[in-house]
């Protein structure tokens, strides 16, 4: 019973939360560390499209 209620809650939140229905999500004012020899970029905006970072 508890698992069913938790599943139902997750489904409801997923349907009605505005960010879950969008194709793109912007995360603003972040520090980007890209794993290269470049220094970290501060105050950047990262665009998430689907499950991947589409740009910064």
pLDDT, position 39? 92
pLDDT, position 31? 87
Tens of pLDDT, residues 4-56: 788 878 777 766 666 655 677 788 888 888 888 889 888 888 888 777 777 76
Report the number of secondary-structure helices (H) and strands (E) in the chain: 1, 3
Beta bridge partners of 30: 44
Token pair 């290269």 is found at 36
Domain ranges of the chain: 21-56
pLDDT, position 19? 61
pLDDT, position 38? 87
- Rounded to the nearest 5 degrees, what angle is found at the Cα of 32, between the Cα atoms of 46 and 18? 30
Instruction: Characterise 42 by phi-psi region: left (phi > 0), alpha (psi -120 to 50), beta (else).
Output: beta
């Amino acid at each position: 019973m508890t698992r069913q209620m938790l599943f139902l809650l997750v489904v409801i939140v997923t349907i009605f939360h505005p960010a879950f229905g969008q194709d793109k999500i912007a995360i603003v004012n972040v520090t980007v560390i890209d794993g290269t020899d470049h220094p970290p970029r501060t105050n950047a905006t990262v665009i998430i499209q689907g499950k991947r970072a589409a740009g910064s």
